[in-house]
Amino acid sequence: MLGYFAVSIALGISARNAGMTAPQATIASALIMASAGQYIGFTLIAAGASYLEVVVMEAIANARYLLMSCALSQKVDSDLPLRHRLLMGLWITDEIFGVSVSVEGRLNPYYNYGMAAVATPGWALGTLVGVVLGNVLPVRVVSALSVGLFGMFMSIFVPPMRKNRVIAALVAVSFAASYAFNAISWFGGISSGMKIIILTVVISLGAALLFPVEGEEDGHAA
Amino acid sequence: MRHNVYLYILGMWVVSYLIRVLPLTLIRRQITNRTIRSFLYYVPYVTLAVMTFPAILSATQSPISGALALVSGLALAWFGGSLFQVSVACCAIVFVAELVIA
């Protein structure tokens, strides 16, 4: 959970770059708890995107939580009351999901609440530190911390590349397509948010049709 | 038109929460459609990859330091580096590289 703090500082810096104030960024982190989703959201806010564009992109960026939520629905007691399900849904993050699915047997919701009690303040305070320190840190330090989020992304999508050749090929295709989108001026009128939506849907759908996933793999999307 | 940042945040929160809470509250059985399951399985990797490159090259002061961070981040993650290690290593490499370049 310490990793949360360093990454959230980088997120705070990106929020500052997007022109957000410390309270805005801190509230966003405390509520949303999604690194990639918040990063995209902040980028779109900086670009003055429409509310609809931000909401659609947030749904795409956080689509993996849909899968994690599906997996957790199989992991908790089927008699678990609705209020616990509504509460647990607040804190489905990459790390909390990763830890909670590794629990033996049925998942006790208080296990998730305990993790959330540690992760949420760390995430929100780290973001606050990023926004505040981003104003006084030298340009070189801000530049260095800006790649922290990309490091986090890589640590999520690279390990599965080793075990799964389809994912390895998909990442290569995604890199190439993303680069081509930026390089070809014909696509110049398309915002970076729309670019991410279009490429994600096209490439993932193509992969789903060509290389459908067998049975038990869907729980590992963290 | 000037947008309200708090409205953006509210929108982001509502959609994120719905995505997180709906399957947990509504779905009591496994999704059986293979294509939908496969699509959802691949989405996070594609999204993260598309967001990382080539954006990492323009996030830093110089594209060279961004490229160094990309290559070392990929290598470190490949050989088992944790989320925290990979993040910190990328930051450190950019910091050192930009000291040398500048």
Instruction: Look at residue B13 and tell me whether its pLDDT is greater than 70.
Output: yes
> How many angstroms separate the CA atoms of B18 and A17, rounded?
28
Identify from A155, A157, A166, A184 which residue to disrupt to test chain B contact, counting B C-beta atoms within 10 A and taking the largest count: A155
pLDDT tens, B29-48?
666 788 887 887 787 788 88
DSSP string for residues in A86-106: HHHGGG--HHHHHHHHTSSSS
pLDDT tens, A93-152?
877 776 776 677 788 889 889 888 888 888 898 889 888 887 777 777 777 877 887 888
pLDDT of residue A162: 92
pLDDT tens, A8-31?
888 888 888 888 888 888 888 888
Please judge whether B87 and A3 are an interchain contact, meaning their C-beta atoms are less than 8 angstroms apart: yes
Residues of A in contact with B87 (CB under 8 A): 3, 6-7, 10, 148-149, 151-152, 155
Please judge whether B24 and A167 are an interchain contact, meaning their C-beta atoms are less than 8 angstroms apart: no
B31 Cβ partners below 8 Å, 6+ apart? A70, A218, B37
Instruction: Look at residue A217 and tell me whether its pLDDT is greater than 50.
Output: no
Please judge whether A151 and B88 are an interchain contact, meaning their C-beta atoms are less than 8 angstroms apart: yes
How many domains does chain B fold into? 1
> How many angstroms separate the CA atoms of A71 and A88, rounded?
13
Confidence of residue A220 (pLDDT cuts 50, 70, 90): very low
- Please give the structure tokens belonging to residue B74: 């990929």
Instruction: Look at residue A58 and tell me whether its pLDDT is greater than 60.
Output: yes
Confidence of residue A207 (pLDDT cuts 50, 70, 90): very high
Confidence of residue B75 (pLDDT cuts 50, 70, 90): very high
- The minimum CA-CA distance between B25 and chain A, rounded to whole Å, is 6
> Nearest-CA neighbor of A10 among A197, A194, A137?
A137
Instruction: Look at residue A203 and tell me whether its pLDDT is greater than 70.
Output: yes
Provide the H-helix boundaries in A62-164.
Answer: 63-75, 82-88, 94-101, 109-134, 139-146, 148-157, 159-163
- Please give the structure tokens belonging to residue A165: 């050749």
- Assess A137–B contact: CB distance below 8 Å, yes or no: no
pLDDT of residue B89: 94
> Nearest-CA neighbor of A13 among A153, A152, A129, A140?
A129
Q: What is the dihedral of CA A11, A221, B38, A33, to 10 degrees?
A: -40
Percent of chain B with pLDDT over 90: 32
* Cβ atoms within 10 Å of A25's Cβ, excluding its own: 29
Q: Minimal Cα distance from B94: which residue of A?
A: A144
Instruction: Look at residue A163 and tell me whether its pLDDT is greater than 50.
Output: yes
Residues of B in contact with A86 (CB under 8 A): 21, 25
Q: Taking the domains of chain A in order of start, what are their residue ranges?
A: 2-146, 158-222
Stretch 13-72 of chain A: residues touching chain B, C-beta under 8 Å: 20-21, 24, 27-28, 31-34, 36-41, 45, 48, 51, 54-55, 58-70, 72
- Reported ipTM: 0.83
Instruction: Provide the 3-class DSSP secondary structure of residue B55.
Output: helix
pLDDT of residue B94: 92
Furthest CA-CA distance within chain A: 55
Nearest to B44 among A20, A64, A72 (CB): A64
pLDDT of residue A180: 92
Counting beta carbons within 10 angstroms of the beta carbon of residue A194, is it exposed (0 to 12), middle (13 to 18) or buried (19 or more)?
middle
Residues of B in contact with A134 (CB under 8 A): none
* Number of Cα atoms under 13 Å in the Cβ half of residue A79: 0
